[in-house]
């Protein structure tokens, strides 16, 4: 006999009641479903007998167990994931293409924030941003002139102070040092008052050369002060207006209505089947809507003329977040903080983790929330991460292997979690958001030295153990897991012993490697 098993997805776990009735867990209750003869349910799996006889030819003891007789054949089982199960169930179900003419004719757009512009309506003016620009402009113009005035006044003071009876070499330097820590305006005022006082005292004894020099320096101070007075407080170039662009939004919406006949023709068996089908239909449509939303709205192309910083999302939730960085598990809030800390002219590129599909993609609401963050572009999971690494200026990540991969591409990294590659000089550890903007600016100026990366790789090889961990992980997943989770799995002592005996050599190799590394560290320490 050959037996094939169909694993039902959560929450459709079933248990055996008797040979022809299967109970499905639906929400908090249970529904019974009659199945054809030859179908058996064991530990949440439906076993379909391909040949006659229960337990297999040759005296097998149950589904999935090989017979003991000479003419018995090995049984086989296969498991279907939730995605595969839904695809099979709805393979022949094709929803009709509705008339899209009206939707195409009606273009619906939504205004989306996109930076600032220098011209616009008064009600769109950003006063805070405009004031910041005004301060930056005036400082850029006035500061060189103030430095010129200060230099002339210091030179005047060095000439006048030499006429003091108690003058000693270096007095002018001492006075200049006493002015440090004060603003340019305060230093200029103090020097002007001091020079005026000294000039009144020593003007009778000043030489003609010193008087001419003082007059020339004073003329330089006056010219610079006049230039400063001509700098306007406000200028049209200081004004900043909030900019919005019209982004097309999908207008097509779907409504799922399920109606069930409650007349006498519907017995409990048919009602149970109808409820099960409607639930699966809902899950199927929800999945298709999410896939369609991601395909239509997530970015699939890099703007070559745009400077950007790359933030790869983590699987929600995974070890890199829960253990290595437990204070940064809310990635959407992190994106908001990072986007606010970016330097002017940079955009934050965000990409979903491809393995998130194994735990179902995030909800459409989460993706919309990310896309609504100003200065953030969300990329489709299918887009090449290598392209983002190559073209970005900086990688910001919580943890995981993405930071080390960025170093291999020659890109600096800002890291929030605790990872081994944080010892690289091109990796900056960020412990809080207060100084994140400063950390980002400093990291953008860093260069990755390939020699540092080579030394780190050598260190990894020195402290690594030759063990096929990836292969062992896949073996554990295939043996004990379903869809990445423990689901209705009863691991018996015999099953675990069989697994340990089968891989005894691999585990012994792992233990011996760990012991040797411990001894090595003891000897080196």
pLDDT tens-place string over residues 146-188: 889 989 998 998 888 888 888 888 888 888 888 888 888 888 8
330: three-class secondary structure by DSSP: coil
Q: Quick one: residue 484, left, alpha or beta (phi over 0 = left, psi -120 to 50 = alpha)? A: left
The strand order across the sheet containing 39-42 reads 3-7, 45-49, 39-42
Is 90 exceeded by the pLDDT of residue 378?
Answer: yes
Q: Cβ distance 64 to 5 under 8 Å?
A: yes
- The whole-number pLDDT of residue 83 equals 66
**What is the rounded CA–CA span in Å between residue 240 and residue 238?**
6
pTM of whole model > 0.85?
A: no
pLDDT tens-place string over residues 314-331: 887 777 777 777 788 889
- The whole-number pLDDT of residue 106 equals 52
State the burial class of residue 129 (Cβ atoms within 10 Å of its Cβ: 0-12, 13-18, 19+).
middle
- The whole-number pLDDT of residue 380 equals 92
Of 443, 312, 449, 334, nearest to 386 by C-alpha is 312
Q: How confident is the model at residue 252 (pLDDT cuts 50, 70, 90)?
A: low
Beta strands 346-351 and 109-117: pairing type? unpaired
Is 90 exceeded by the pLDDT of residue 412?
Answer: yes
**What is the rounded CA–CA span in Å between residue 170 and residue 184?**
22
Is 60 exceeded by the pLDDT of residue 451?
Answer: yes
List of residues 6+ apart from 173 with CB closer than 8 A: none
Q: How confident is the model at residue 21 (pLDDT cuts 50, 70, 90)?
A: very low
**How many Cα atoms are found within 13 Å in the side-chain-facing hemisphere of 92?**
0
pLDDT tens-place string over residues 41-89: 444 444 444 444 444 444 444 444 444 444 444 444 556 666 666 666 6
- Of 362 and 22, the structure prediction assigns the larger pLDDT to 362
Mean pLDDT over residues 211-226, rounded? 90
**What is the rounded CA–CA span in Å between residue 455 and residue 461?**
10
CA of 9: how far to CAs of 13, 46, 85, 269, 360, in Å? 7, 12, 8, 21, 13
pLDDT tens-place string over residues 106-159: 567 778 777 888 888 888 888 888 888 888 888 888 888 988 998 999 899 888
**What is the rounded CA–CA span in Å between residue 59 and residue 80?**
28
pLDDT tens-place string over residues 391-409: 999 999 988 888 889 999 9
- The whole-number pLDDT of residue 78 equals 54
The residue whose two tokens read 């409820």 is 275
Mean pLDDT over residues 468-473, rounded? 78
Mean pLDDT over residues 427-441, rounded? 89
């Amino acid at each position: 006999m050959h037996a094939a098993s169909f694993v039902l997805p959560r929450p459709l776990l079933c248990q055996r009641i008797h040979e022809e009735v299967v109970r499905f867990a639906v929400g908090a209750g249970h529904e019974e479903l009659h199945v054809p003869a030859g179908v058996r349910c064991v530990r949440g799996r439906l076993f379909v007998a391909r040949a006659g006889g229960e337990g297999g030819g040759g005296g097998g003891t149950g589904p999935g167990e090989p017979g003991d007789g000479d003419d018995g054949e090995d049984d086989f089982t296969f498991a279907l994931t939730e995605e595969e199960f839904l695809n099979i169930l709805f393979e022949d179900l094709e929803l009709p293409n509705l008339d899209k003419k009206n939707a195409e004719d009606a273009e619906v757009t939504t205004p989306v924030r996109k930076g600032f512009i220098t011209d616009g309506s008064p009600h769109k003016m950003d006063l805070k941003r405009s004031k910041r620009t005004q301060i930056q402009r005036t400082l850029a113009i006035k500061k060189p002139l103030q430095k010129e005035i200060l230099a002339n006044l210091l030179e005047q003071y060095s000439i006048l102070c030499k006429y003091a009876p108690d003058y000693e070499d270096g007095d002018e330097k001492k006075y200049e040092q006493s002015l440090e820590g004060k603003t340019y305006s305060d230093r200029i005022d103090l020097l002007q008052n001091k020079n005026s006082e000294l000039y009144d005292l020593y003007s009778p004894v000043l030489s003609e050369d010193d008087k001419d020099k003082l007059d020339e320096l004073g003329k330089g101070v006056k010219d610079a002060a006049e230039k400063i007075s001509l700098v306007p407080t406000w200028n049209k170039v200081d004004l900043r207006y909030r900019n919005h662009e019209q982004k097309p939004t999908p207008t097509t919406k779907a409504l799922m209505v399920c109606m069930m006949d409650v007349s006498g023709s519907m017995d409990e068996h048919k009602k149970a089947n109808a409820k099960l089908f409607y639930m699966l239909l809902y899950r199927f449509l929800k999945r298709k809507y999410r896939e369609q939303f991601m395909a239509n709205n997530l970015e699939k192309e890099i703007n070559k003329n745009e400077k950007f910083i790359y933030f790869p999302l983590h699987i929600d939730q995974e070890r890199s977040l829960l253990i290595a960085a437990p204070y940064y598990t809310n990635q959407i809030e992190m994106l908001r903080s990072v986007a606010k800390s970016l330097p002017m002219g940079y955009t934050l590129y965000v990409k979903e983790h491809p393995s998130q599909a194994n735990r179902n993609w995030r909800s459409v609401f989460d993706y919309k929330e990310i896309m609504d963050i100003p200065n953030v572009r969300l990329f489709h999971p299918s887009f090449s991460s290598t392209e983002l690494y190559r073209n970005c200026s900086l990688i910001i990540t919580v943890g995981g292997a993405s930071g080390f991969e960025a170093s291999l591409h020659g890109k600096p990294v800002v890291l929030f979690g605790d990872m081994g590659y944080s010892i690289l000089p091109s990796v900056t550890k960020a412990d809080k958001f207060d100084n994140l903007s400063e950390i980002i600016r400093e990291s953008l100026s860093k260069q990755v030295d390939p020699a540092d990366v080579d030394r780190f790789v050598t260190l990894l090889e020195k402290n690594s153990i030759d063990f096929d961990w990836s292969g062992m992980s896949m073996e554990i997943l295939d043996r004990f897991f379903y869809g990445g989770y423990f689901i209705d799995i009863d691991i018996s002592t015999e099953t675990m012993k069989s697994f340990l005996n089968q891989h005894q050599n691999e585990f012994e190799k792992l233990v011996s490697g760990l012991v040797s590394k411990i001894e090595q560290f003891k000897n080196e320490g």
